[in-house]
Amino acid sequence: MWVFSAMLASCERQIDPGNWDIHWPIIDFSFAPVTPLIGDSVDFEALTKNGSSRIVKWEWTVSDSSATITTGTGAEPSFVFDKEGTYQVGLLATDSTGNTDYVSKNVTVLADTGVLVRVMVCCAKPKTYNEETFQQLADIINEFKPDLVLMRQVDSGTTRALGMNVPAFVGEKTGMDAYFGKAFDYKGGGYGNALLSRLPVVDSATLSLPPDPSLGGEVRSAPMITVQLPNKRNSKLVFVGTELDAGKTDQSRVYQLNAVFSSLNGDTLPVILGGDFNDVAGSQTFSLLESRFTMGCLSNGCPLNNPVSNPSKTYDYVFYHPSGDFVLAKTTTATESISSNYLPIIVDIRYKPGK
């Protein structure tokens, strides 16, 4: 059964409409989610490009390989797909003088519903250490409702954090289980990384990541938890989070990353790995990562999250393994942060074993 809904054309969004004396339409459209499943409501949005004339009518068609299945009107329709396959969605726009433009895109609908897992990676080192600041972090997490969170650069019981157990505090304020992985003692407490989970935690551990002894540097930590997924198979997955050494060469980062991989050897469960790897694409660090894991970034690139104001670089990433058990659905960033340098990133991954 097809379900269609649409907003009136008066709600259409114009992108820099430009000079209305130009008498032809120039259009595009977007849709989300980009990898819909059977039964998902897929939201479409008609767009005009620079220089387009004013559109007065939007007409949509959804077709499979043989025929048009359904149609719709309006600038922001939604379609629900009831069968798997690849569909052609077409948009015909008409302006006030009767001129038209047409664009079409393929939408691939998957059969297995799988389990959608939302992952957030955020820097928990704030500008100011107080309860109000960490409540703000909890508010950001609550806004996006992730299932799994890596909080890197986090204090627990330090004098700097006024004695607060920051992971436990944020966990309580978000209703998530908190697990702190201390890297080293610091100011009367501990400093390291922490994981939060909205999913039931069935196992946990912390891996200490000393630097390459020939180089020295700072000890890092990689907390890891095994969580239960809400599907009929009672599937489990491992969530690991870390921040690697920030030294000038990538030798220590490779050393630490190999320690993470060694700890995962022999584990047959799927793994989601989040973190700041303090390196860039093309480095030995990323070559090693990509030899074992798939980067959680869409074709248009990874979310830019540094600096907070007008971000131009990516520091935080999500990887997953095995690739065939996951479908990447969406990547984005939050618009607020308690860090002066990094926006939180949010990655939606659908776990779909045996795809």
User: CATH number for the domain including 95?
Assistant: 2.60.40.10
Residue 79: give the domain boundaries. Answer: 3-109
Contact residues for 300 (Cβ-Cβ < 8 A; gap 6+): none
pLDDT for the residue 82: 82
One domain, residues 224 and 305? yes
One domain, residues 92 and 196? no
Q: b/e per residue, 117-150, with b = 16+ CB within 10 A? A: bbbbbbbbbbeebeeeebebbbebbeeeebbbbb
One domain, residues 160 and 58? no
What whole-number distance in Å separates Cα of residue 264 and Cα of residue 129? Answer: 35
One domain, residues 105 and 121? no
One domain, residues 105 and 246? no
One domain, residues 14 and 85? yes
- Picking from 140, 134, 139, 142, the residue whose alpha carbon sits closest to that of residue 163 is 134
pLDDT tens for the 355 residues of the chain, in order: 455 554 433 334 444 444 445 578 999 999 998 888 787 889 999 999 988 899 999 999 999 877 888 889 999 999 988 888 999 999 999 999 999 999 999 999 987 667 899 999 999 999 999 999 999 999 999 999 999 999 999 999 999 999 999 999 999 999 999 999 999 999 999 999 999 999 999 999 999 999 999 998 899 999 999 999 987 567 899 999 999 999 988 999 999 999 999 999 887 899 999 999 999 989 999 999 999 999 999 877 899 999 999 999 999 999 999 999 998 999 999 999 999 899 999 999 999 876 4
Last residue of a domain, one of 109, 136, 153: 109
One domain, residues 331 and 242? yes
pLDDT for the residue 352: 81
One domain, residues 208 and 151? yes
Ramachandran sector of residue 24 (left: φ over 0; alpha: ψ -120 to 50; beta: rest)? beta
Last residue of a domain, one of 92, 109, 126: 109
Contact residues for 31 (Cβ-Cβ < 8 A; gap 6+): 42, 43, 44, 45, 89, 105, 107
pLDDT for the residue 58: 96
One domain, residues 145 and 85? no
One domain, residues 158 and 44? no
pLDDT for the residue 5: 53
One domain, residues 79 and 105? yes
Number of domains composing the chain = 2
pLDDT for the residue 192: 98
Whole-structure pTM value: 0.71
pLDDT for the residue 83: 86
In the sheet that holds 27-32, the strands lie side by side as: 3-5, 78-80, 41-48, 27-32
